[in-house]
Amino acid sequence: EAQVTQNPRYLITVTGKKLTVTCSQNMNHEYMSWYRQDPGLGLRQIYYSMNVEVTDKGDVPEGYKVSRKEKRNFPLILESPSPNQTSLYFCASSSPAVGTNYEQYFGPGTRLTVT
């Protein structure tokens, strides 16, 4: 089954304790992206990756890092989480191939609480 998976689904942590949220897709997509969702703000793009070893900032990259060492994986790293990073996080992937219209497929989300 084609899917995007994220782990963990729920995470409660304390300020300053480094964490990683994993994202993996099995569709051989070149493009992957991370979003955060906050009430009243919709989804905002954090980082994206066009392919292995190619990443770039989205609209809200501060406090986050990413890496793309393999095509299928795109982890989101919070080196020193703060309470304002409490949010619902989504990973997404898509293929730039002609005919797909660049549709994104979303993971189930990770709810992060930083105390």
Where do contacts with other proteins occur on this chain (CB under 8 A)?
Answer: 31, 33, 35, 40-45, 48, 50, 56, 58, 90, 96, 101-104, 106-109
- We find the least distance from the C-beta atom of residue 77 to other proteins, in angstroms, to be 20
Q: In this complex, which beta carbon is closest to other proteins, that of residue 101 or of residue 115? A: 101
Q: How far is CA 105 from CA 12, 42, 84, 96, 99, in A?
A: 26, 17, 26, 12, 15
- We find the least distance from the C-beta atom of residue 16 to other proteins, in angstroms, to be 29
Q: Which residues of 39-66 are buried (b: 16+ CB within 10 A; e: fewer)?
A: eeeebeebbbbeeeeebeebebbeebeb
- We find the least distance from the C-beta atom of residue 89 to other proteins, in angstroms, to be 11
With beta carbons less than 8 A apart as the criterion, state whether 80 and 18 touch: yes
Q: In this complex, which beta carbon is closest to other proteins, that of residue 14 or of residue 56? A: 56
Q: In this complex, which beta carbon is closest to other proteins, that of residue 69 or of residue 98? A: 98
Q: In this complex, which beta carbon is closest to other proteins, that of residue 16 or of residue 108? A: 108
